[in-house]
Structure 1
Amino acid sequence: MRYPNESEKRGNDGEECIIRPQVKIVNCPIKTSLGVLGKKWTMLIIRDIGFLKIKRFNRILESIPGLTPRVLSMRLKELEREGIIKCREDRNDQVIVLWSLTEKGEDILPILLMLTAFGSKWYPEFVFEDKKPRRLDEVFSQPETRQRILEYNKRYRFNHNERNQQ
């Protein structure tokens, strides 16, 4: 898929394009993002580290049925290489490796919330015991969770000048 350029204001069926970038795009940002995030288990690993605050290898492995140690190790290395997670060693009597999200990784959490909202609305028969669709505020009704959702939403409202300075 590619985005239409300025001269291509209509799609193949003659309808006007609703979302058309105003800058030249070399590679589709969706395709580029999915190159990293679209690999099997990746989003669930990010979910566990970001939302569930599971920081240890074996706990992540236990929380995702079907995930193998080999694949988890590969995904963690890929995510670390991409700058999405970071590894910290805690040295007490033994070395304990702990994983956490970087700022880049934190920016993925609002995407996971939107996937949660989509699944809760359109696939309730698989998501909920009572099979009834729900809004995100019904799924997460705790005040601290609602506050966190608002914080995630603000992450994407960045100032253009601030972004260019990074």
Structure 2
Amino acid sequence: MQVVIPMIMNRRSDCPLNVGLEIFGDKWTLLIIRDLMFFNKRYYNEFISSEEGISTNILADRLELLEKQGMVRKEKCLEHKQKILYKLTEKGIDLLPLIIEIGFWVEKNADEELDPNKEVILGPFRENREKGFQQIREKLRKDHLEKEGL
């Protein structure tokens, strides 16, 4: 069975790596996914406050892209009716191994010492990656896929 991914118009080629880079080819897209996965950020202003300093127009654009690609969904916040809550979809949760492997690759190949807070992301995967993936996926599914108040 072939999976159909809504694609960006005018892509350079159908090579899977190219298509992936056209979706994730800037630092902001994966940082938003990271914030959703590991730092429990759910609201627009929480993403703005990330230490990397994303601008409002870039954030709005990337959230829209992630929503169009089916990796993030938005819903109205039950507590604050005018606030929008962002959550990962199953497709977004499937990015977990990519995020972790990039982190381990950078840790192995970085020329300088990394932030000690990296353990928030990499720690659960050090002893047994598969077990870490299973545990974090379960948590993400609970946090992002289950409806609030149910």
Give the TM bin, normalised by the shorter chain.
Answer: 0.5 to 0.7
User: CA 1:147 to 1:96, structure 2 compared with 1: closer, same or farther past 3 Å?
Assistant: farther
Give the aligned partner of residue 71 of structure 2: 84
1:79 partner amino acid: L
Partner of 1:70: 57
8 A Cα contact 2:71 2:92, kept in partner = yes
Q: Mind listing any 5+ residue stretches in structure 1 that lack a counterpart?
A: 1-25, 155-166
**Separation in 2, partners of 1:112, 1:57:** 21
CA shift, 1:52, in A, is 1.7
Deviation at 1:42, TM superposition (A): 0.6
Report what 1:151 is aligned to: 134
Greater relative contact order (Cα < 8 A, sep 6+)? 2
For residue 102 of structure 1, report the CA deviation from its aligned partner: 0.6
Larger radius of gyration: 1
Q: CA RMSD in A?
A: 3.2
What TM-score comes out, normalization by structure 2 length?
0.68
The match for 2:28 is: 41
Structure-2 change in CA distance of 1:148 and 1:73 (3 Å): farther
Normalising by structure 1, what TM-score?
Answer: 0.62
2:87 to 91, 100, 105: 100
Q: CA deviation at 1:27?
A: 1.9
Secondary structure at 2:101's aligned position in 1?
helix
Q: Secondary structure at the match of 2:83?
A: strand
> Which amino acid letter does the alignment assign opposite residue 150 of structure 1?
F
Q: Which of the two has greater helix per residue?
A: 2
Quick one: distance in 1 between partners of 2:124 and 2:20?
A: 30
1:120 has 2:107 as partner? yes
For residues 31 and 152 of structure 1, what CA distance do their matches in structure 2 show? 31
- Residue 123 of structure 2: aligned partner: 140
Give the C-alpha shift of residue 141 in structure 1. 5.1
Q: Report SS of the residue matched to 1:55.
A: coil
Q: Is the 8 A contact 1:84 1:102 kept in 2?
A: yes
